[in-house]
């Protein structure tokens, strides 16, 4: 069969096969490959066109181009019809096997914060939130940090204006709560805080805090110790031991640092606890009367305790992570472990 006859035959086949194509991706793709694929019928005709007698090339070439155009338009129309029917912008092969969806998880710090909040909420604490941009009064002055007080140097601050700053701790939430509520007050104050510190494996310029406050009549240091002991045993395990070490904070007096026995070595000494057997988890103390008075609370009638901890540090300790930067870099290879 010569080339002109083969062109005519392929034209007939094209019309017959076009009527048989159904609205599936596989059917359309089979039609396309048969006629205009690299090994299809029409490319084969073009390959034989070069050996055709010169007197026939004009007429046969015209018919070949018409045939190719008809095939391409047919494929284009079939794809448009298929896309319109599926209601999608792109082709989708419903015969393909399903793909599993990756399920996300809470960030390890979020998991730690949620657990801490759950434990204290079981003990009757409510949760309060506050803005990350604070006033100097709420962040320092009301917390017994007067101007030029040396304790201000303990916290390198990001100042936006003279009296506006990024909060360096979540204690301003306690101030805001005491200014708008009357005792009894029993709250947790979780959130992000900011300090102008060098970024290295042990410190970061952004981190988290959870602070607690209880103000009422006849609140004692013994209540504070019991509250922290209950928390420590629920969070770290019933066999954990705690100890209080004298410390200094401008907004509490007396003040203490709280350690727990290392939950990795059981207090025997290991690399995590630097062979001391103890891990520092928080600071605490009785609310300084000056703080109560700055918030309009009668310090002769009411007393209170406060505590604060860093869930980032607790997360590092709990999971044996040696670089705090890993918590903030968003590396999915690291985060998917949790």
Q: Is residue 73 domain-shared with residue 114, that is, in the same domain?
A: no
Lowest mean pLDDT among 21-30, 143-152, 313-322: 143-152
Q: The whole model's pTM is what?
A: 0.67
What does the alpha-carbon distance between residue 166 and residue 194 come to, in Å, rounded to a whole number? 6
Q: Report in angstroms the alpha-carbon separations of 308 from 1, 25, 97, 208, 331.
A: 92, 61, 52, 10, 28
270 and 331 co-located in one domain: yes
**Whole-number pLDDT of residue 277:** 86
Predicted local confidence at residue 301, as pLDDT: 96
Q: What is the pLDDT of residue 75?
A: 87
* Residues 124 and 230: beta-carbon distance below 8 Å: no
Buried b (16+ CB within 10 A) or exposed e, 306-330: bbbbbbbbbbbbbeebeebebbeee
Confidence of residue 122 (pLDDT cuts 50, 70, 90): very high
Dihedral angle computed from the Cα positions of residues 117, 235, 214 and 113, in that order, rounded to the nearest 10 degrees: -30
Give the pLDDT band (50/70/90) at residue 87.
low
- The answer on 113 and 73 residing in a single domain is no
- Which residues are bridge partners to 283 per DSSP? 257, 308
Comparing C-alpha atoms, which of 158, 104, 112, 152 is closest to residue 250? 152
Give the chain's domain count. Answer: 2
Please tell me the distance from the alpha carbon of residue 334 to that of residue 93, in angstroms, as a whole number. 34
> Residues 57, 134: one domain?
no
Per-residue DSSP letter, 338: -
pLDDT digits (tens, 9 = 90+) for 136-165: 999 999 998 887 777 666 668 888 988 899
Task: With beta carbons less than 8 A apart as the criterion, state whether 214 and 223 touch.
Answer: yes
Mean pLDDT, the chain, rounded, equals 87
Tell me which of 78 and 259 has the higher pLDDT: 259
The residue among 216 and 58 whose pLDDT is bigger is 216
Bridge partners, 282 (sequence order): 258, 309
121 with 244, same domain: the answer is yes
- Collapsed DSSP state (helix, strand, coil) of residue 129: coil
The per-residue pLDDT for 121 is 95
CATH number at residue 158: 3.30.930.10
Do 195 and 137 lie in a common domain?
yes
pLDDT of residue 154: 62
Residue 91: inside a domain: no
**One domain for residues 200 and 239:** yes
Residue 200: per-residue pLDDT: 86
Question: What percent of the chain has a predicted confidence (pLDDT) above 90?
Answer: 43
Residue 88's pLDDT band, with cuts at 50, 70 and 90, is: low
CA distances from 1 to 5, 195, 285, 322 (A): 6, 86, 102, 79
Radius of gyration of the chain (CA): 37
- C-alpha 213, offset from chain centre: 28
| Comparison of pLDDT for 182 and 147, the residue scoring more | 182
If asked whether residues 129 and 268 sit together in one domain, one would say yes
Gap between the Cα atoms of 221 and 299, Å rounded: 16
Does 121 share its domain with 171? yes
Report CA torsion sign: 223, 229, 230, 231.
Answer: positive
Comparison of pLDDT for 128 and 103, the residue scoring more: 128
Distance of alpha carbon 3 from alpha carbon 50, whole angstroms: 11
In a domain, 97, yes or no: no
Question: Which pLDDT score is estimated for 198?
Answer: 84
pLDDT (0 to 100) of residue 287: 96
What's the chain's length in residues?
338
Q: Model confidence at 18, in pLDDT bands (50, 70, 90)?
A: confident
221-225 long-range CB contacts below 8 Å, 24 or more apart? 221/254, 221/286, 221/305, 223/305, 224/284, 224/285, 224/286, 224/305, 224/307
Q: What's the CA dihedral at 294, 221, 229, 234 to 10 degrees?
A: -40
Residue 227 has pLDDT above 90, yes or no: yes
Report residue 247's pLDDT band, with 50, 70 and 90 as the boundaries.
very high
- What number is the average pLDDT over the span 228-246? 92
Q: Helices in 87-192 by DSSP H: which ranges?
A: 108-122, 136-139, 171-180
Q: Are residues 79 and 124 in the same domain?
A: no
Which of 86, 118, 136 is the last residue in one of the domains?
A: 86
Per-residue pLDDT, 90: 56
Are both 121 and 239 inside the same structural domain?
yes
Give me the domain span that covers residue 152. Answer: 108-335
**Residue 3 near residue 34 (C-beta atoms within 8 A):** no
Least confidently predicted of 74-78, 207-211, 233-237: 74-78
Q: Would residue 305 count as lying in a domain?
A: yes
- pLDDT score for 151: 63
SS3 (DSSP) at 230: helix
Of the pLDDT bands very low, low, confident and very high (cuts 50, 70, 90), residue 237 is confident
pLDDT (mean) for 266-282:
81
Residues 245 and 123 in one domain: yes
| Cis, bond preceding 254 (omega within 30 deg of 0) | yes
Whole-number pLDDT of residue 156: 82
Classified as helix, coil or strand, 4 is helix
**Residue 211, in any domain of the structure:** yes
Share of the chain above pLDDT 70, in %: 95
């Amino acid at each position: 069969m010569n080339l002109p006859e083969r062109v005519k035959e392929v034209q007939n086949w094209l019309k017959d096969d076009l009527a048989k194509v159904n609205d599936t991706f596989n059917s359309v793709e089979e039609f396309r490959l048969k006629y205009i694929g690299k090994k299809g019928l029409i490319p084969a005709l073009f390959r034989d066109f070069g050996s055709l007698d010169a007197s026939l090339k004009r007429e046969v070439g015209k018919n070949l181009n018409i045939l190719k155009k008809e095939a391409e338009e047919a494929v284009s129309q079939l794809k448009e019809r298929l896309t319109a029917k599926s209601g999608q912008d792109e082709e989708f092969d419903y015969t393909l096997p399903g793909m599993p969806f990756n399920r996300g998880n809470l960030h390890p710090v979020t998991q730690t914060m949620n657990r801490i909040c759950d434990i204290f909420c079981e003990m009757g604490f409510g949760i309060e939130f506050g803005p990350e941009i604070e006033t100097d009064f709420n962040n320092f002055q009301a917390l017994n940090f007067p101007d030029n007080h040396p304790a201000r140097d303990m916290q390198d601050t990001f100042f936006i204006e003279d009296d506006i700053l990024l909060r360096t701790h979540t204690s301003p939430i306690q101030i805001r709560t005491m200014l708008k509520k009357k005792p009894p007050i029993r709250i947790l104050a979780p959130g992000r805080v900011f300090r102008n510190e060098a970024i290295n494996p042990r410190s970061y310029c952004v981190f988290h805090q959870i602070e607690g406050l209880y103000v009422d009549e006849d609140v004692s240091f013994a209540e504070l110790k019991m509250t922290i002991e209950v928390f420590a045993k629920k969070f770290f395990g019933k066999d954990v031991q705690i100890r209080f070490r004298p410390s200094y904070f401008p907004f509490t007096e007396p003040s203490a640092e709280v350690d727990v026995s290392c939950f990795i070595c059981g207090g025997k000494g290991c690399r995590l606890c630097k062979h001391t057997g103890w891990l520092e988890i928080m600071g605490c103390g009785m609310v300084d009367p000056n703080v109560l008075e700055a918030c309009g609370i009668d310090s002769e009638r009411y007393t209170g305790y406060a505590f604060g901890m860093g869930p980032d540090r607790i997360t590092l300790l709990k999971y044996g992570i040696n670089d705090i930067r890993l918590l903030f870099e968003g590396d999915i290879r690291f985060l998917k472990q949790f």
